[in-house]
Structure 1
Amino acid sequence: MFKMTIVSTPSRILDEDLDKNIAYFLSDIGYIPRLKPFTDFATISKAAYFRLFKDCFLMNPQRYWTGDELLAFLKTSRTTLYRHMNKLKSMDLLEELQEGKTKKYRLRSGDLVRAWSWVEVNVKMALDNYGKSVRHIVELTQSRH
């Protein structure tokens, strides 16, 4: 099931700090908790969830990673790794490849822009379905008058 947070925020494209831009983006889409004005970006950039997205998937978009490779690279627990990978998968940002008994993961389509296009399709479908529900509720309400 597709799941993502949508928040209307100002564009941050004027800031040249890559880690800060990534952190705000991940916060805005609900991958990590909402950031506060006093957020320590140096601490966030060392966290496993941040490094998973940036170092593993964003900086190596074509590479497929096994769970064990990710665990070794991130030096985190299996529970933490899969909790964050499942969030990225639910947003349709990751793809999974089955090779025999081994699953491998990478950024969807091997490119963030192409991965994001899948997100946009999912958001549009979700909004269309919400619109249908709203119209149906209004019809049901009007039929009771």
Structure 2
Amino acid sequence: MFKITITSVPSRYDDDPDRIIAYFLSDIGYIPRFNPEHDINSIKSSAYFKLFKCFLITDRYWGVDELTSYLKTSRTTLYRHLNKLKSMDIIEELNDGREKKYRLRSGNIESAWSWVEVNVKMALDNYRKTVENIRRSMDHS
């Protein structure tokens, strides 16, 4: 099931790419809302932030064992964050027969985001159909 938070916010411009990434991840609901003046260092050191950055730095697939070691986190924590990114359709999974591997969809953030936009449009179209059905059903009652 596709799930993402849609928040109407201005585009973020900053000299610190980590701050831009943190805002983005917060705006789409991957990480909780934060106060950038107080929380940015704890966010930058978190497993979920480091995981997302792993996917940004290369287009290769990352193995689960490799990610747990690099992030210094448990498989449970890793899978919780991977599943959240998968539900947003931002990452893709490959099972090579030995282990599951992950990367950004289509290998980069722009292509991955295109998939998200398609999913958002389909979700909004479905909401529109539901709204039309509500109106029609109210007309007949």
**TM-score for the superposition, normalised by structure 2:** 0.96
CA distance in 2 between counterparts of 1:28 and 1:77 reads: 26
Name stretches of at least 5 consecutive residues in structure 2 with no aligned partner.
none
1:71–1:37 Cα change, 3 Å:
closer
User: Which position in structure 1 is the counterpart of 2:12?
Assistant: 12
Which structure has more helix as a fraction of its residues?
A: 2
Give, as a single letter, the amino acid of the residue that structure 2 aligns with 1:52.
L
- SS state at 1:71 partner: helix
Matches of 1:133 and 1:141, distance apart in 2: 12
Q: 1:37 to 1:46 in 2, by over 3 A?
A: closer
Unpaired runs of at least 5, structure 1:
none
Could you say what secondary structure the match of 2:38 adopts?
coil
Q: TM-score, normalised by structure 1?
A: 0.93
Equivalent in 84, 97, 100 of residue 103 of structure 1: 100
What's the CA shift for 1:117? 0.2
Distance 1:38 1:111 in 2: 29
In the alignment, structure 1 residue 139 sits paired with structure 2 residue 132: no
How far apart are 1:89 and its partner, in Å?
A: 0.4
Partners of 2:3 and 2:34 in 1: how far apart?
19
Within 5 A, what are the aligned runs for 1:106-121?
Answer: 106-121=103-118
Letter in 2 for 1:12: R
The share of aligned pairs that are identical, in percent, is 65
1:42 positional shift? 1.5
* CA RMSD after TM alignment: 1.0
Q: State the partner residue of 1:27.
A: 26
Alpha-carbon displacement from aligned partner over 1:20-61 (angstroms, at most 9, x marks no partner): 10000000000001123543211210110000001x10112x
